Amino acid sequence: MVLVGGGEVLLDEQIYIAHKAANPHRFPANPVHAESKSKEERERDEEAVKKWNDKPTQVMLQIFDDCCEYHT
């Protein structure tokens, strides 16, 4: 579950994360992040991404109008 307030500073990023988790094929990982990693790290990451792509996460996104950002 992703809870978001309409008045939050990072509203777009939180909605993007929810969509990416629910449909990873439409929002693939950026290959730029893999350039600085070792071959072993890249292989481990590719294996993890493959598992994630095979079974997307069920996501419930709730956006509350005029709810402010709250840090705990």
Tell me: the pLDDT tens digits for 36-45? 888 898 888 8
Look at phi and psi of residue 66 and say left if phi exceeds 0, alpha if psi is from -120 to 50, else beta. left
71 pLDDT higher than 70: no
Distance between CA atoms of residues 25 and 28, nearest Å: 6
Q: pLDDT digit string (tens) for 11-32? A: 788 888 888 888 877 877 777 7
Tokens 């094929």 -> residue: 25
Q: 45, 59, 57, 46: which is closest to 15 by C-alpha?
A: 59
The pLDDT value recorded for residue 24 is 77
72 pLDDT higher than 60: no
The pLDDT value recorded for residue 70 is 59
Paired strand residues for 5:
64
